[in-house]
Amino acid sequence: MPGSIKVDLKDKAVNLRWKGLTYSEILKEVPVAKSTLSLWLRDVGLSKRQIQKITERKIRAAHKGGEVRKRARLFLSQKIKEEAAKEITSMSKRELWLMGVMLYWAEGSKEKENNPGLGVQFTNSDPYMIRLFIKWLVEICEINRNDIILELYIHENHRDNIPRAVNHWAKFTEFPKNSFQHIYFKKGNPKTKRKNAEDSYYGIVRIKVKSSSMLNRKIAGWINGVINCCR
């Protein structure tokens, strides 16, 4: 590089530094190695305001870069979910049967020696899981919808949200609102880090089936069958 051009580039780099540009920004304007730039600027004295300005630019650049990476991550995540969803095109009766067995194995109430005669009970806060379990009861276990009891459990400090919660669950279960006559209040003052907790909290629903202790035992047998296949 000719000496005159090198001097011009150095002067330009120094001027840009005084204007509060970061090294990365200067390198876009001055095509030299970063080590050369560091050597040119190591003795450049900056005022407190200039240092503050450079710091602010670095912070803005970091935030901008973070937002770009966040958008890219969200786009990729959405793409993965959309492609994965396409792999589920239909659901056979046998697949629904096994899904329900797995759901009950995870979230259902099981009969124990000290609690014999327990009927079918399934509790969850996920509306789509609740909807799937009701579908399973009706289509696989051939339970009459009139024999399904829905109980709502909600924190006592959300009493004012009961109408909204009932509307929410009535929509997802496709049961009339008056089906939710059994409402129980959970004690205490729950602490949560969830955002918009007031808007997204609808309590949990417990599904109970009338006179279903024999069905509960049959489900237990299905679960044992799955366990035997895994051995």
Question: Do 103 and 62 share a domain, yes or no?
Answer: no
Question: Do 70 and 128 share a domain, yes or no?
Answer: no
Domain boundary at 20, 54, 84, which?
84
- Give, for all 231 residues of the chain, the pLDDT tens digit: 665 667 778 888 888 887 778 888 888 888 888 888 888 887 676 656 667 777 777 787 778 878 888 888 889 999 999 999 999 999 999 999 999 999 999 999 998 877 788 999 999 999 999 999 999 999 999 999 999 999 999 999 999 999 999 999 999 999 999 999 899 998 866 565 544 456 789 999 999 999 999 999 999 999 999 999 998
Q: Judge contact between 154 and 161, C-beta under 8 A.
A: yes
Residue carrying structure tokens 């803005």: 60
Q: How many degrees, rounded to 5, is the angle at CA 60 between CA 56 and CA 43?
A: 45
Structural domain of 164: 93-229
Beta bridge partners of 148: 209
Question: Do 46 and 127 share a domain, yes or no?
Answer: no
Domain boundary at 84, 115, 142, which?
84
Domain boundary at 84, 107, 140, which?
84
Question: Do 116 and 69 share a domain, yes or no?
Answer: no
